[in-house]
């Protein structure tokens, strides 16, 4: 059976960014893969979507990828279609695992860029080169991102995204691509900042975390609108953000936003939590304090 004979194909899709920065959504990939299956005369046995899964990070789980390999081994599918080869393989060991499963199965791999026979030595050679190139590209991207994060931290700017940090995030009056309001996370939310100062004052005065938690839930919900838990509160209290600091690779830098509590109060409240056996999160790690720009020498 050649690569263009009727096949029961797996469609593998993984969310990713195109070279121009646009998002290649899984749904778009699936539609293009189905069109390719029709042109090849293959039937689609199953779609394997790994949404928001990295093929670069070794410890990142890809459930659909794992299931597809199991189905290949079981003989449930006899062809693979992907949007592009790097959606499927970005690490050499992934390719070698796939080649081992494909031994003697005449398993073709089809993408927009062409079809490869995983049992053909010339095609295997080309795939290994492509996997090595994809691996290097991912490693280069990772290094650039890490350098950018370090530069932002050294400049005192927030690193990464995620949920709005409690105590910060004032609407700018603009909306993002998703239609959600854009927030300036360098600006304090006054009522939340006041609530955090109240928490710290009570803890330093000797109140228990449980008692303070009860009080806080009468004052303000979390940044997501939920009730506070002890874990969530400890995460906030041990985060350097509330002290006007930012951490990167174990080092603390002066941030561009104003502190809610002083660095000294932050250290004191962490010590209280530690003494009470309630320490969680950042505390307990050794750090180097790099407070250039916010500390003054006495003269």
Smallest CA-to-CA distance from 91 within 114, 57, 118 is with: 57
| Residue range 233-251: mean pLDDT, rounded | 87
Query: What is the per-residue DSSP string for 176-191?
Result: -TTSPEEEEEEEE-HH
Same domain? For 240 and 196 the reply is yes
Query: What is the per-residue DSSP string for 28-54?
Result: HHHHHHHHHHHHHT-EEEEEEEETT--
Same domain? For 193 and 132 the reply is no
d(Cα 16, Cα 87) in Å, to the nearest integer?
Answer: 8
pLDDT at 288: 44
Same domain? For 13 and 140 the reply is yes
Same domain? For 229 and 116 the reply is no
Whether 158 maps to a domain, the answer reads no
Q: Tokens for 112, please give them.
A: 């927009």
Whether 255 maps to a domain, the answer reads yes
Quote the mean pLDDT of the chain: 77
Same domain? For 246 and 188 the reply is yes
pLDDT bin (cut points 50, 70, 90) of residue 276 is: confident
Domain boundary among 114, 149, 184: 149
pLDDT at 278: 44
Whether 157 maps to a domain, the answer reads no
User: Structural domain of residue 114, as residue ranges?
Assistant: 8-149
Per the DSSP assignment, residues forming a β-bridge with 288 are: 251
Whether 203 maps to a domain, the answer reads yes
Residues 20-74: tens digit of each pLDDT: 444 456 788 889 999 999 999 999 999 998 865 444 445 457 788 889 989 988 8
Domain boundary among 149, 176, 200: 149
Same domain? For 143 and 12 the reply is yes
Same domain? For 184 and 141 the reply is no
pLDDT at 257: 86
Same domain? For 16 and 135 the reply is yes
Where does residue 148 rank: exposed (0-12), middle (13-18), buried (19+ CB within 10 A)? exposed
Whether 299 maps to a domain, the answer reads no
Indicate the Cα dihedral angle 152, 155, 266, 274, nearest 10°.
40
Whether 163 maps to a domain, the answer reads no
d(Cα 92, Cα 248) in Å, to the nearest integer?
Answer: 30
| Residue range 125-132: mean pLDDT, rounded | 79
Q: For residue 126, what is the domain's CATH number?
A: 3.40.50.1390
Whether 159 maps to a domain, the answer reads no
pLDDT at 202: 96
Residue 15 near residue 24, CB atoms below 8 Å: yes
- Specify which of 86-100, 238-252, 278-292 reaches the highest per-range mean pLDDT: 238-252
Same domain? For 136 and 12 the reply is yes
Same domain? For 244 and 272 the reply is yes
Residues 160-193: tens digit of each pLDDT: 556 889 999 888 888 777 777 888 888 899 999 9
d(Cα 25, Cα 13) in Å, to the nearest integer?
Answer: 9
Q: For residue 247, what is the domain's CATH number?
A: 3.90.1750.20
CA atoms 257, 261, 267, 269: torsion sign: negative
| Domain count across the chain | 2
Domain boundary among 103, 118, 149: 149
- Residue 75 CB partners (closer than 8 Å, separation 6+): none
d(Cα 158, Cα 247) in Å, to the nearest integer?
Answer: 9
Same domain? For 246 and 280 the reply is yes
pLDDT at 280: 47
| Residue range 248-265: mean pLDDT, rounded | 84
Report the first-to-last Cα separation within the chain, whole angstroms: 85
What percentage of the chain exceeds 90 in pLDDT? 31
Same domain? For 213 and 137 the reply is no
- pLDDT over 80 (residue 201): yes
Q: Which residue has the higher pLDDT, 207 or 143?
A: 207
Q: Which residue has the higher pLDDT, 250 or 148?
A: 250
Task: Match 């006054």 to its residue by tokens.
Answer: 190
């Amino acid at each position: 059976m050649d690569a263009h004979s009727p096949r029961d194909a797996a469609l593998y899709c993984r969310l990713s960014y195109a070279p121009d920065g646009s998002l290649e959504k899984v749904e778009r990939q699936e539609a293009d893969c189905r069109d390719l299956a029709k042109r090849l005369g293959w039937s689609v046995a199953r779609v394997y979507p790994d949404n928001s899964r990295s093929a670069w990070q070794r410890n990142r789980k890809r459930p659909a990828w794992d299931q597809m390999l199991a189905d290949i081994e079981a003989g449930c599918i006899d062809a693979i279609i992907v949007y592009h080869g790097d959606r499927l393989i970005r690490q050499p060991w992934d390719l070698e695992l796939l080649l081992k499963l494909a031994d003697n199965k005449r398993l073709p791999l089809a993408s927009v860029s062409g079809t490869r026979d995983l049992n053909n030595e010339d095609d295997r050679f080309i795939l290994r080169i492509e996997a090595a190139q994809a691996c290097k590209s991912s490693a280069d991207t990772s290094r650039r991102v890490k350098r950018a994060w370090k530069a932002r931290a050294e400049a005192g700017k927030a690193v990464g995204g995620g949920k709005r940090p409690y105590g910060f995030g004032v609407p700018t009056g603009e909306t993002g691509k998703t239609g959600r309001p854009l927030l300036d996370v360098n600006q304090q939310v006054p009522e939340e900042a006041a609530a955090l100062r109240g928490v710290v004052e009570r803890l330093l005065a000797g109140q228990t975390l449980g008692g303070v938690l009860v009080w806080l839930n009468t004052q303000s919900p979390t940044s997501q609108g939920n009730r506070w838990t002890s874990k969530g509160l400890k995460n906030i209290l041990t985060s350097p953000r509330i002290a006007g600091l930012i951490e990167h690779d174990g080092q603390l830098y002066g941030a561009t936003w104003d502190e809610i509590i002083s660095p000294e109060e932050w250290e004191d409240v962490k010590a209280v939590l530690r003494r009470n056996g309630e320490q969680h999160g950042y505390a307990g790690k050794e750090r180097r304090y790099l407070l250039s720009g916010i500390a003054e020498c006495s003269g």
